[in-house]
Structure 1
Amino acid sequence: MATAADTLAQNLSFANFSKATDLKKRIWFTLGALVVFRLCSFVPLPGIDPVALDQLFNRTAGGVLDFFNMFSGGALERMSIIALGIMPYITASIVVQLMSSIHEPWKALKKEGEAGRKKLNQYTRFGTVILTIFQGYGIAVGLEGWGASSGVSAVIDPGWFFRISTIISLLGGTLFLMWLGEQITSRGIGNGISLIIMAGIVAQLPVALGGLFEQARTGAISVGFLLLVIVGALAVIAFICFVERAQRRILIQYPKRQVGNRMFQGDKSHLPLKLNTPGVIPPIFASSLLLMPLTVAQFAGEGATGAGGDILLTVTTALQHGAPLYMALYAAGIIFFAFFYTAVVFNPEETADNLKKYGGFIPGIRPGQKTAEYLDYVLTRITAVGAIYLTFICLLPELLISQLAIPFYFGGTSLLIVVNVTMDTVAQIQGHLLAHQYEGLIRKAKLRGRGR
């Protein structure tokens, strides 16, 4: 009997991969879309002085702008047409999902199936447009005043023409990324939005590694400290891989059943509940809600004067990356979205009804409402552990980074996104290879049947 490792090796063999034409097309499409995304990050906004922008951005190094720049793949640093990245779309998705949980008309839309989902997607797109317009205007105004106190201006010709052109450019870039992510999801491999975020992080990793090695070469940091950072990052990756595969398996028993004159023995199966059911969604959602307003406030605060400017600067200082208030809000956001998104993707009552419909039951638990209550109890405990894990992974390395001046790309949030998205994508590739293998076996069986 072949072992699990042998089966996996067979599914991932080059022979099977070469025959999976549809899978190869999907992978090439995904890679091509990510290349287009990277090219767009080098297309600058009209009316920007790149030299002055680079000087101003270096003054705020290590702050919230650097953290947002990580998610945009360096697009914010270059102030490209996709400087806002995919974050407005994510923020709009959060609002729509929250409303569909508390607003009765939108609740009804969720229950309508595909038609309701399309309607909610339209609301998400409309929300993306509105958010991008407001955020684009805030960034345009902030860019005009950014560095005014030092006599350096990133805008060549300030005014309404620059503001309108910036809003239109940022809106077009964000909507293009939204469309590109949807195309990757439907025609490529993996979740398009998550892959775009991961591609931005991975694209900056060589620069971050080069910076660390350069600091070690010049003596800014010791070689021992460099090795400690690398070993720590590898340990975090190993821990993430271990926890992401952890699950609670609930035993499901099916009774004996009679079909015609034949009696079939009762079967046993398991209902797997992942320890981290929401995956990478809570850190992304929490980061999105914190980073977008802070980014606009930082740009606006640099150019504002008087009491308003003082207030904005106070807020951005209190919410700097690594500050206690920022960490507290980030942790609260991760925990909230861990429970919220788990409730969205897993419905205990619906699962209990399906088990009852097909005759399945949990030993010692009555079918129906009692099963739903038991599943909810188990899921709540698992989600609590998963939320603590996400908070620990995202906050502890980020705290060390803010104190030791290590690049953000080695933090828990970035590593969690990269590892999680990679694991999901590889799982989808394995699924396509397995489906292709089964199709081949079915085709051979039909041919043999005809031959007989």
Structure 2
Amino acid sequence: MFQTLKNAWNMPELRKKILYTLFILLIFRFGSCIPVPFINTELLATYFEQSQVAGSMLGYLDMFTGGGLSNATIFAMSITPYINASIILQLLTVAIPALERMVKEGGEEGRKRIASWTRYVAVVLGLLQGFSYYALLRSNGFLSNTSVLAAAAIILTFTAGTALIMWLGEHITQNGIGNGISIILFAGIVSRGPSLIRTLYNLFKQGGGSIISALLMIVIGLAVVVFIVFMSNAERRIPVQYAKRVVGRKMYGGQSTHLPIKVNASGVMPIIFASSILSLPQTVSMFWQPAAGTVGWHVLNLFSQSNPFYIIVYGLLILAFAYFYASIQFNPIEISNNLKKNGGFIPGFRPGKPTSDFITKALGKVTFVGAIFLGIVAILPLIVGAISPNLSNVALGGTSVIIVVGVALDTVKQLEAQMLMRHHKGFLE
């Protein structure tokens, strides 16, 4: 990875893209330090340091925002409304045939229209989430001014921050390196690294933990990273044989190749999408806090991260989104038709429907393995946090690690692909 970054830095075009991405991330980090007016940030930070908040969904969202939520900065809501808007539009695209035709047949124009609608929906969701966060601040006495103008200023500032992050992410995708939304999530999570280390240190200091147990946790963490890298690069290769054909005096085909199906083809998106959906009940609880013992209280309590119901639903959503993304990225019928047109076939299967059925079955098995992998890495830390409340804040590290590692691997692969396109001699050697 470091060699790839070094080779990319030596290329003027890629160096400009890297510097552009770093500049955008610098703007993001500056925005994560600018507080919104009329909010007592000291009381709010103390509130987020409490154990019942640190391991909850609020603590989870605070991790995504790089501490912006606990400090009530202009980027307090981060990219969450945009992610939720993307989920809604993608599901609607699959459910509504007219939208699906617009994407497939409209080409670039259709994709631009869907992207524009996603932005509008993100702004609407940003207003709703900004209002819910304002309600949480007001109900807990964190506001220095409760007037209507102050409320409008706070909500609109939160929404404007979301729109600005959305704009920054799109510019990273267009002019920088990697997927802009993922890169911003990566930066927010990495910025919380020192805080997580300090939490671990205080935990061992107060609990009298030994050096051996600390080293054991470090070894387990490194093993998890290695496991994530291995599974992210794993793939099933379906052999493909091309028949020989004579065109004029030349013979074409006859070579053997393979059709790669990645075990974790969807990357970290199932976890991000599942987390965003399960954050909605927590958003509702910000402005609606039912009395203890009522039906509403029981329903919202089900979505606590230490609740078994939440953990089960989280795993099922990860599984569902893994299959959803696999179905978007792979079309077995289209792949089978392309193989047939080019004179290719999978040994042991006739071209056409038998080939597409085999690819569908292989894709289902590989996707299931990838979904189980994502579920294990994301859910095990939550189980640890539910068993040991002292580790509830540390438990958030499971999801953050897989996002950080996944985004880093995808970004490095994009760098390698761009260097290959430019026939960079140092990389090819």
Q: What CA distance in whole angstroms lies between the structure 1 residues aligned with 2:131 and 2:62? A: 18
1:7-66 deviation line (CA, Å, top 9, x unaligned): x99x8495x545410100011111111111111111112210112212322333322211
Which residues of structure 1 form unaligned runs of 5+?
1-7, 147-152, 442-452
Change in CA separation of 1:46 and 1:314 when aligned onto 2, cut-off 3 Å: farther
Q: 1:369 aligns with which of 348, 353, 369?
A: 353
Asked if 1:142 is matched to 2:112, the reply is no
Asked if 1:197 is matched to 2:185, the reply is yes
Q: What CA distance in whole angstroms lies between the structure 1 residues aligned with 2:369 and 2:199? A: 36
Q: What CA distance in whole angstroms lies between the structure 2 residues aligned with 1:285 and 1:161? A: 34
- What residue is the counterpart of 2:408 in the other structure? 422
Worse overlay, 259-268 or 118-127: 259-268
- What residue is the counterpart of 2:126 in the other structure? 132
TM-score after normalising by structure 1: 0.88
Across the aligned residues of Structure 1 and Structure 2, the Cα RMSD in angstroms comes to: 2.3
Q: What CA distance in whole angstroms lies between the structure 2 residues aligned with 1:314 and 1:373? A: 45
For 1:294-313, list aligned pairs within 5 A. 294-301=281-288, 304=289, 312-313=296-297
Q: 1:383 aligns with which of 362, 367, 377?
A: 367
Secondary structure at the counterpart of residue 344 of structure 2: coil
Q: What CA distance in whole angstroms lies between the structure 1 residues aligned with 2:356 and 2:84? A: 31
The 8 Å contact of residues 242 and 255 in structure 2, kept in 1 or not, is answered as: yes
- What residue is the counterpart of 1:121 in the other structure? 115
Q: 2:34 aligns with which of 36, 43, 67?
A: 43
Q: What CA distance in whole angstroms lies between the structure 2 residues aligned with 1:357 and 1:438? A: 33
Q: CA deviation at 1:305?
A: 6.3
Q: What CA distance in whole angstroms lies between the structure 2 residues aligned with 1:306 and 1:209? A: 36
Asked if 1:70 is matched to 2:63, the reply is yes
- What residue is the counterpart of 2:167 in the other structure? 179
Secondary structure at the counterpart of residue 383 of structure 2: helix
Q: What CA distance in whole angstroms lies between the structure 1 residues aligned with 2:101 and 2:90? A: 13
1:387-430 deviation line (CA, Å, top 9, x unaligned): 11111111012211343333347632111101111111111122
Q: CA deviation at 1:195?
A: 1.0
The 8 Å contact of residues 68 and 295 in structure 1, kept in 2 or not, is answered as: no
Change in CA separation of 1:395 and 1:276 when aligned onto 2, cut-off 3 Å: same
Asked if 1:268 is matched to 2:256, the reply is yes
Question: Which amino acid is the alignment partner of residue 258 of structure 2?
Answer: H
Q: CA deviation at 1:331?
A: 0.7
Q: What CA distance in whole angstroms lies between the structure 2 residues aligned with 1:222 and 1:297? A: 42
- What residue is the counterpart of 2:421 in the other structure? 435
Asked if 1:31 is matched to 2:36, the reply is no
Q: Percent of aligned positions with the same letter in both sequences?
A: 38
1:208-247 deviation line (CA, Å, top 9, x unaligned): 1122123334444333332222111111111111111111
Q: What CA distance in whole angstroms lies between the structure 2 residues aligned with 1:355 and 1:80? A: 53
- What residue is the counterpart of 2:241 in the other structure? 253
Which residues of structure 2 form unaligned runs of 5+?
none
For 1:283-298, list aligned pairs within 5 A. 283-291=271-279, 293-298=280-285
Q: What CA distance in whole angstroms lies between the structure 1 residues aligned with 2:348 and 2:290? A: 68
The 8 Å contact of residues 381 and 395 in structure 2, kept in 1 or not, is answered as: no
Change in CA separation of 1:92 and 1:271 when aligned onto 2, cut-off 3 Å: same
Question: Which amino acid is the alignment partner of residue 171 of structure 1?
Answer: T
The 8 Å contact of residues 37 and 154 in structure 2, kept in 1 or not, is answered as: yes
Q: CA deviation at 1:162?
A: 2.4
Asked if 1:350 is matched to 2:343, the reply is no
1:86-121 deviation line (CA, Å, top 9, x unaligned): 111111111111111111211111212211111111
Change in CA separation of 1:136 and 1:18 when aligned onto 2, cut-off 3 Å: closer
TM-score after normalising by structure 2: 0.92
Question: Which amino acid is the alignment partner of residue 223 of structure 1?
Answer: I
The 8 Å contact of residues 57 and 77 in structure 1, kept in 2 or not, is answered as: yes
The 8 Å contact of residues 55 and 395 in structure 2, kept in 1 or not, is answered as: no
Larger Rg: 1
